[in-house]
Amino acid sequence: MRNLTYWLAAHTGLTTEFYSRLLYSLAVIGVLWLLSLFLQRFINKQQADLRKKYQWRKVTNYSITTLSLIFLSYIWLDGFQSIATFLGLLSAGLVLALREPVLNMAGWVFIIWKRPFHIGDRIQIGDHIGDVIDIRLFQFTLNEIQGWIKADQASGRVVNIPNLKVFTETQANYNYGFPFIWEEIPVRITFESNWQKAKGILWEVMHEHAEQLSEAAREQIRWQSQQHLIFYEDLQPHLYTAVRDNGIELTMRYVCNLMRRRQSVHLIWEDVLVRFMATPDIRFALPATRFYRGEEGQEPTPKQV
């Protein structure tokens, strides 16, 4: 190796020290590259879960990159004392000249450390809602839902969001601490309708389509909820009654799988429409003006238009 550096220095005019460092750098990069390949193959053989594979690949890439920077800095900057001085000056310059990229890197550290969301979580950050499909050094990526589509289904767009947004935007995680969501469907009927019969129909329909949780799933929900101090003692469906301006409102509340929200609402509404249409004494309430007309001494008769 020494002879090679002398030969290169003699024919190019550069110093032997430069070529020594260059060859050491190439050796370090080669060894770490081979180590990365070995770890990737090992992960692919040992891990069947795609999400865990993805996470391990990310950890491997970040670790190899960090080791490369440390070794190369040591080779080119004459030891760790010079590295510390260099990094101090570099960080000060970056804060002034590259504020947003530095904030994005700080946001990445926050995401990796505090874990406000993981790959596969459904989140809302600012006006954007979607499933997290990638987390990188400067941005994370969402497979967007809603957008111009008025439901919890994919719009077809992939949204890249700068990591610094975790410091400036409100975040909501649909999966955090509780693997299901609560869904409510209000149904409004007229005052003249048989509201007790309507309530019985809604109760049957809701139980047919609400999420049927096994005891193991209930235990999992309780455990995760207690881990994050979110307590749901009662996971059974409920039906609530309220009086509104133009009728009686019956609200179905039930636990729903995150990915089945639109489908469950669709199935419930279809059954409700079929059963209400077949029941003469139940009518949906519509926006209306009610007035009373009657003669003196007679009970006024309500009319709805």
The residues facing 249 across adjacent strands are: 188, 242
Give me the percent of the chain exceeding a pLDDT of 90: 21
Q: What's the whole-number mean pLDDT along residues 44-61? A: 74
- Which pLDDT value is given to residue 163? 92
Q: Estimate to the nearest angstrom the gap between the alpha carbon of 112 and the chain centroid.
A: 14
| 199/270 same-domain check | yes
Report, as an integer, the average pLDDT of 230-239. 75
- CATH number of the domain bearing residue 138: 2.30.30.60
Checking if the pLDDT of 303 tops 70, the result is no
Query: What does the pLDDT look like over 184-233, one tens digit per residue?
Result: 999 999 998 999 999 999 999 998 887 766 566 666 666 666 666 566 66
Measure the N-to-C terminal CA separation of the chain; round to a whole number of Å: 97
Higher-confidence position of 95 and 149: 149
- 293 domain residue, yes or no: no
Residue 126 has a pLDDT of 87
Same structural domain for residues 165 and 184?
no
Report if residue 105 sits inside a domain.
Answer: no
The answer to which of 32-46, 51-65, 120-134, 255-269 has the lowest mean pLDDT is: 51-65
CB 268 within 8 A of CB 254: no
pLDDT at residue 103 is higher than 80: yes
Question: Looking at 45, 64, 97, which one is the last position of a domain?
Answer: 97
Secondary structure of residue 138 in the 3-state scheme: coil
pLDDT the model gives residue 239: 93
Whether 167 is covered by a domain: the verdict is yes
Do 168 and 188 reside in the same domain of the chain?
A: no
Residues 141 and 185 both lie in one domain: no
To which residue do tokens 């509404």 refer?
269
pLDDT band per the 50, 70, 90 thresholds, residue 90: low
Instruction: Look at residue 137 and tell me whether its pLDDT is greater than 80.
Output: yes
The answer, yes or no, to whether residue 178 has pLDDT greater than 70, is no
Residue 274 has pLDDT above 90, yes or no: yes
Give the distance, in angstroms, between the CA of residue 47 and the centroid of all CA atoms in the same chain: 24
Residues 93 and 163 both lie in one domain: no
The answer to whether 279 and 201 are in contact (CB under 8 A) is: yes
Q: What is the mean pLDDT of residues 253-270?
A: 87
Residue entry with tokens 């000056």: 89
**Three-state secondary structure string covering 206-227:** HHHHCCCCCHHHHHHHHHHHHH
Torsion of CA 145, 170, 117, 33, to 10 degrees: 90
* Tokens matching residue 154: 């994919």
Lowest mean pLDDT among 7-21, 94-108, 164-178: 7-21
Note whether residue 305 is domain-resident: no
Chosen domain end from 36, 70, 97: 97
Q: Where does a domain end: 173, 191, 212? A: 173
Q: Are residues 263 and 198 in the same domain?
A: yes
Q: What is the mean pLDDT of residues 130-157?
A: 85
Structural domains counted in the chain: 3
Reported pTM = 0.57
Residue 294 in any domain: the answer is: no
Query: What pLDDT was estimated at residue 151?
Result: 74
Residues 165 and 234 in one domain: no
Instruction: Say if 22 falls within a structural domain.
Output: yes
Name the band, by pLDDT with cuts 50, 70 and 90, for residue 256. confident
- Quickly state the pLDDT bin for 141 (edges 50, 70, 90): very high
Is position 287 within any domain?
no
The residue range of the domain holding 138 is 116-173
- Percent of the chain residues topping a pLDDT of 70: 71
Tell me how far CA of residue 28 lies from CA of 65, 69, 71, in angstroms: 12, 10, 7
Q: Domain for residue 288, yes or no?
A: no
- Structure tokens, 152: 């919890």
- Domain with residue 255: its CATH number is 3.30.70.100
